[in-house]
Structure 1
Amino acid sequence: MTDTRALAAQALADIALRGTSLRDAMERHAPKLADSRDRALLMALLSDGARWWLRFDPVLDRLLEKPLRQKEPAVHALLVLGLVQLEILKLPEYAAVAATVQATRAMQRPRMAGLVNAVLRRWQRERETLLAALDAKPQTRHAHPAWLAKALAHDWPEQSDAVMAADNVEPPLMLRVNQRRTTRVSLVDRLRSDGYTADAHDWLADGIVLPHSTDVTRLPGFAAGEFAVQDGAAQIATDLAELRDGQRVLDACAAPGGKACHLLERADVALTALEFDARRAQRITQNLERLGLSANLVIGDAGQPSDWWDGTPFDRILIDAPCSATGVLRRRPDVRLHRRESDIATLAALQRRILDALWPLLAPGGRLIYITCSMLRAENDVVVGEWLKTQVDARAIAFTLPVGQSAAVGWQVLPGEGDLDGMYYAVLEKA
């Protein structure tokens, strides 16, 4: 029998110390566990381990005489998981310590078992003092990298603490009903009749909210393509497009296809789904097929349309620009471990290149929706604002949403506002 905590420690070491994504770690390790309850525990341990690594990793330097990160990375990760079980998952102290020590033996590190037990016992004895030290700095209080905590304080001085706190709260599960297959009322009724707590979203026309994550493949209507999983912040993009039947639409940077499918569900449009990565484009095809939709799928670089554009202008262009993903840390906790401050300038340059390249493809009177799941102005209103200064035929359309706040250009939703992910939007019209 595989010890779930031992497996989690090995996987978390890969995520935190070697740059493996949470998704890839789960895909690699979850099949080793036969019981669905063990797989659920693995996911909880990896999610919370990645989410809280930057809080508990530093304290181990105070609890250990010699660091273990390099010599015994899996044992170091196991100690982080031990603290997560005690402080975040709130497992009974004896059970959490005993299970973590047993995992050390399951990892074939029996000589480390005494050390693991001693470290966790010392944490329990010195807990109040150690927590006070961690709470004194925003990066360890909220488990965010120091550079990001500083950037958020600069861009959102009044909201930065709330933003980082929201990043550490489990988000609800949001579905988007496929109106071509069923109605939202019908799907909500079926979910409730199957014992799920489900409600129509207050102001998103296609949104359904479930309070907790679950295996969506077991939900009624999944196999029939009656819904997709999509956070409400992402669903807003289609509303901003204001589609009409017969339009030509480009969804640039389209993988995994959620927004492309939503556009097709809303109107009878001729949609081109563009994706640079052929492997990720496979997920677009899978989503289109399950939802009963069709699009022209193109593998190409959004910044080099001469390689794939047929010369006919588009009435609508959606750019879900590559970005830091700092607005979706609550759903992708490993991003905070992998993103670097030096990435931001590179991403902003790429975003500007895509805007420059795709604007000529938009028909006069057409609308371009630029969005990112970033919280950083350097990727959002700064990029769009500077770009607008160079475009005499472009203007930003003012709009408001039920949540969020206006930016210098466009609109920003902060993580947790309306229980949505963080996302930036700008709507640009061609004269």
Structure 2
Amino acid sequence: MPGQPMRAVAAQVMLAVEQGRSLSQCLPPALNRLPETDRPALQAQCFGTCRWFYQLDGELQGRLKKPLKPADRVIHHLMLVALFQLRHSERASYAVLNETVEACRALDKPHLTGLVNAILRAAEREGPPGVTSDYLRFAHPPWMVEKLRHNWPDDWQSILEANNTQAPMTLRVNARRFTRQAYLDLLGDAGIEARPTPFAPHGLQLETPVPVERLPYFADGAVSVQDEAAQLCTTLLDLAPGQRVLDACAAPGGKTCAILEACEDLSEVVAIDESADRLPRIEENLTRLDLTATVQQADAAQTDDWWDGQAFDRILLDVPCSATGVIRRHPDIKLLRRESDIVPLAGIQLGLLNALWQTLRPGGRLVYATCSVFPQENHRIIRRFLKQTDQAVLLAPDLPWGRDTEAGRQLLPTPQSHDGFFYAVLEKSEQ
């Protein structure tokens, strides 16, 4: 419906997320419905409401005498968006109330304007309620709080707090074009403050995020936006000229491009991904950075469908996972992920590892990666694989980052630093 007020659109986006669609799916078309000047605010409202959903929803349910009818569910989300602004933004409360009532009418629910007005006025007058549980305090689903508490008894609170912070903007300097210091100087000339990342050799973290159009020579392939933890894959692959490299589950192509930038004379880089919709993103990144790879749509686990029988020297296997290490960048994960997802994901992960191991040459190296903080998807997968695979040797490189799990390195999400990530390095013995 064209011409709707921004917060009405935000409520519809939130309803779509509750129904199982990700922000990356439903936010772009919603942004296109609004004038360009309103788009940053819509994105902030949707991201913020997802980030604090469990806290806001707990408050709203306490204020509602009975749930709204299913047909009026969009108004529940409209009030959540308003509560987000009352609790977590500097928007004037009278403007929030007035605009929310107007949006209620725009959503063809004029009969609910009195209820919306009364609830939000009470919320403004009384302030936030006392928090009685950890999942409300940390604004995460109860199952996730409990699983983190069990898996990380000394770190669970800091993980939850990190998930609720704004992720920094981190760049990967294209080593074919610039040294890190040279690009840091260019940023300084452009009035953009940044500092080198401590672990990724080509990383720069900005003090404040900026539109990519402001980054010097971005369109010409000077840099890419990529978290420091994701950049570390190239340091583990031990790349050398002449190698044939596979990037499995490659979309959107950030790691494919990082591999090509890290070593200029690789014989071939093959990038495969199951999603036809995401392949164009790989091609766009390659084109902007003036890089070349063999891009294929395929289920990596079905090697008979895509593998030509020529073994790979190096494989990067960044498996589908719960994405619980990148919640601060994708807060809708809190609403979309279910505890029941973890066991099937672990099955997919082990299946991919078993299938791709057959395509690795003896003496070759496979780097297993996830953006998860759950051991069930990380070091426990590696232990299971090592038990059943005679030729697999776990390498334990001496690294200045992450926790040693004795079956790989675990990075936990850290405010003003890297995301949560897991890496394990496996070598195929010649025996």
TM-score range, shorter chain: over 0.9
CA distance in 2, matches of 1:402, 1:331: 24
Asked if structure 1 preserves the Cα contact closer than 8 Å seen for 2:249 and 2:317, the reply is yes
Deviates more, 1:374-383 or 1:66-75: 66-75
Q: Where do residues 117-156 of structure 1 align in structure 2 (5 Å cutoff)?
A: 117-128=117-128, 130=129, 132=130, 135-156=131-152
Asked if structure 1 preserves the Cα contact closer than 8 Å seen for 2:167 and 2:415, the reply is no
Offset of residue 222 of structure 1: 1.5
1:210 aligned residue: 206
Asked if structure 2 preserves the Cα contact closer than 8 Å seen for 1:52 and 1:84, the reply is yes
2:70 aligned residue: 70
Offset of residue 418 of structure 1: 6.7
Asked if structure 2 preserves the Cα contact closer than 8 Å seen for 1:101 and 1:116, the reply is yes
2:85 aligned residue: 85
Deviates more, 1:38-47 or 1:2-11: 2-11
- The amino acid of 1:372's aligned partner reads T
Offset of residue 200 of structure 1: 2.3
Tell me which of 8, 11, 26 is aligned to 2:10.
8
Tell me which of 232, 249, 255 is aligned to 1:236.
232
2:311 aligned residue: 313
- The amino acid of 2:335's aligned partner reads L
Q: Please give the TM-score of this superposition, normalised by the length of structure 1.
A: 0.95
User: Structure 1's 10 and 398: CA in aligned 2 closer, same or farther, altered over 3 A?
Assistant: same
User: % of aligned pairs identical?
Assistant: 43
CA distance in 1, matches of 2:398, 2:232: 11
Tell me which of 189, 196, 203 is aligned to 1:193.
189
Report SS of the residue matched to 1:278: coil
2:394 aligned residue: 396
User: Structure 1's 94 and 372: CA in aligned 2 closer, same or farther, altered over 3 A?
Assistant: same
Q: Where do residues 247-326 of structure 1 align in structure 2 (5 Å cutoff)?
A: 247-267=243-263, 268-269=265-266, 270-326=268-324
CA distance in 1, matches of 2:310, 2:79: 58
Deviates more, 1:345-354 or 1:114-123: 114-123
Offset of residue 58 of structure 1: 2.5
Deviates more, 1:88-97 or 1:230-239: 88-97
Q: Please give the TM-score of this superposition, normalised by the length of structure 2.
A: 0.95
Residue 184 (structure 1) aligned with residue 185 (structure 2): no
Offset of residue 31 of structure 1: 1.2
CA distance in 2, matches of 1:100, 1:186: 49
1:173 aligned residue: 169
1:345 aligned residue: 343
CA distance in 2, matches of 1:136, 1:211: 35
Asked if structure 2 preserves the Cα contact closer than 8 Å seen for 1:403 and 1:417, the reply is no
User: Structure 1's 375 and 219: CA in aligned 2 closer, same or farther, altered over 3 A?
Assistant: same
CA distance in 2, matches of 1:421, 1:328: 6
1:270-292, CA deviations, whole angstroms, 9 ceiling, x for partnerless residues? 11111112221111111111100
CA distance in 1, matches of 2:72, 2:193: 44
Deviates more, 1:181-190 or 1:279-288: 181-190
- The amino acid of 2:158's aligned partner reads A
CA distance in 2, matches of 1:287, 1:26: 21
User: Structure 1's 237 and 326: CA in aligned 2 closer, same or farther, altered over 3 A?
Assistant: same
Deviates more, 1:99-108 or 1:262-271: 99-108
User: Structure 1's 423 and 326: CA in aligned 2 closer, same or farther, altered over 3 A?
Assistant: same
Offset of residue 153 of structure 1: 0.8
Offset of residue 2 of structure 1: 4.0
2:34 aligned residue: 33
> Where do 5+ consecutive residues of structure 2 fail to align?
none
User: What is the root-mean-square deviation in Å for CA atoms of aligned residues?
Assistant: 1.6
Offset of residue 400 of structure 1: 4.4
CA distance in 2, matches of 1:274, 1:338: 25
Report SS of the residue matched to 1:47: helix
User: Structure 1's 59 and 71: CA in aligned 2 closer, same or farther, altered over 3 A?
Assistant: farther
CA distance in 1, matches of 2:207, 2:258: 22
CA distance in 2, matches of 1:175, 1:139: 33
User: Structure 1's 192 and 113: CA in aligned 2 closer, same or farther, altered over 3 A?
Assistant: farther
CA distance in 2, matches of 1:59, 1:140: 9
Offset of residue 97 of structure 1: 2.3
Report SS of the residue matched to 1:368: strand
CA distance in 1, matches of 2:177, 2:27: 31
Offset of residue 189 of structure 1: 2.2
Offset of residue 242 of structure 1: 1.2
Asked if structure 2 preserves the Cα contact closer than 8 Å seen for 1:55 and 1:140, the reply is yes
CA distance in 1, matches of 2:323, 2:298: 22
Q: Where do residues 28-67 of structure 1 align in structure 2 (5 Å cutoff)?
A: 28-36=29-37, 38-67=38-67
Offset of residue 377 of structure 1: 0.8
Asked if structure 2 preserves the Cα contact closer than 8 Å seen for 1:400 and 1:406, the reply is no
- The amino acid of 2:26's aligned partner reads A
Asked if structure 1 preserves the Cα contact closer than 8 Å seen for 2:168 and 2:416, the reply is no
Offset of residue 247 of structure 1: 0.7
Deviates more, 1:170-179 or 1:414-423: 414-423
1:123-159, CA deviations, whole angstroms, 9 ceiling, x for partnerless residues? 234335x2x2xx3312111111111111111110110
User: Structure 1's 398 and 417: CA in aligned 2 closer, same or farther, altered over 3 A?
Assistant: farther
CA distance in 2, matches of 1:417, 1:82: 26
User: Structure 1's 313 and 417: CA in aligned 2 closer, same or farther, altered over 3 A?
Assistant: farther
Asked if structure 2 preserves the Cα contact closer than 8 Å seen for 1:369 and 1:425, the reply is yes
Offset of residue 69 of structure 1: 6.3
Deviates more, 1:99-108 or 1:110-119: 99-108
1:373 aligned residue: 371
1:224 aligned residue: 220
Asked if structure 1 preserves the Cα contact closer than 8 Å seen for 2:231 and 2:255, the reply is yes
